[in-house]
Structure 1
Amino acid sequence: MATVELRFSALPEHVRTARLVAAAVARRAGVDESVLDEVRLAVGEACSRAVGLHQRGGVTSGAVRVSLTDQEKRFLIEVEDEAGPAFVPDPGVDEDADEDTLGLAVITGLVEDLEVTHGARGGVIRMSWPVSVDALAH
């Protein structure tokens, strides 16, 4: 099981880099070519959401962590923010919550295996995709 970890300051200009790294690592892990755009888009949405939570919460020192793990039959991506639990938008109260809700809806449409959690330090979005059987043979 190999893991690549990327940490970046919560700035929008780093989201593109996270998408490119995720697609490259997913390809190397054996994720089917037809799914790579979904991986790229889902990581972009998850990272954009994390950056937005940091910015709306005024968290300037925290980082966004992207963990890319090649498991035996799955490729797992975790996107973790350090925005803290107080900065999770509340739909109907925070107008930025609509953007957050839309981002999660997009991710949900792209990823079958998805888990969104919130803890004391911030939130984590866990996503995974199957690894191609052909890739496992090589």
Structure 2
Amino acid sequence: MATVELRFSALPEHVRTARLVAAAVARRAGVDEAVLDEVRLAVGEACTRAVGLHQSSGISAPVRVALIEDEKQFSIEVGDEAPRATAGERVPGARADGADEPDAAESEGEDEMGLAVISGLVDDVEVTAGESGGLIRMSWPTTPATLLP
């Protein structure tokens, strides 16, 4: 199992680099050429979401991306350190009277849209979140390299 790890400052201009690296590693891992655009788009959405969460929460920690090459699949994990409220806790950006702040509602809508795009692009996707941040894990099948005679 080979893994490439990226860490980048939560700035939108670094998302393009993450997309390019992910596509190059996916190609080398044996992901079908026809799927590489989906890999690029999904990584872009996941990284953009992580950057937005870091910026809106004032987190200076880097966004983490792991590109994992297994024997029969290629996986990408995009992690952030933005804490999510658990049951009974107040969500950052929500007013004490229970009404959502306009910016919080808009940002939540963008977040949901990004997750919907990722789900539409990737058949095997898992999203987890908790007090220490979130993780989006996406996987694609690989085809073994064929040896020429």
Same-fold call, TM > 0.5? yes
Question: Which amino acid is the alignment partner of residue 78 of structure 1?
Answer: E
Task: Tell me which structure has the larger Cα radius of gyration.
Answer: 2
Alignment partners' CA distance in 2, 1:49 and 1:84: 14
SS at match of 1:126: strand
Could you say what the CA RMSD is over the residues aligned between the two structures, in angstroms?
A: 1.9
Question: Which amino acid is the alignment partner of residue 125 of structure 2?
Answer: L
* Other-structure match for 2:71: 72
* Other-structure match for 1:109: 120
Question: Which amino acid is the alignment partner of residue 65 of structure 2?
Answer: V
The alignment status of 1:96 with 2:95, answered yes or no, reads no
Alignment partners' CA distance in 1, 2:137 and 2:93: 19
How many percent identity over aligned positions?
70
Going from structure 1 to structure 2, the CA distance change for 1:46 and 1:96 (only over 3 Å counts) comes to same
- Structure 1: where are the runs of 5+ without partners? none
Question: Which amino acid is the alignment partner of residue 132 of structure 2?
Answer: R
2:131 to 120, 123, 128: 120
TM-score by length of structure 1 reads 0.90
- Structure 2: where are the runs of 5+ without partners? 86-90
Question: Which amino acid is the alignment partner of residue 81 of structure 1?
Answer: D
Question: Which amino acid is the alignment partner of residue 137 of structure 2?
Answer: R
CA displacement, residues 62-95 of structure 1 (integer Å, 9 cap, x when unaligned): 11000000011000100000112247888x9322
Q: What is the total number of aligned residue pairs between the two structures?
A: 134
User: Which of the pair is proportionally richer in helix?
Assistant: 1
CA shift for structure 1 position 115: 0.2
Alignment partners' CA distance in 1, 2:110 and 2:56: 12
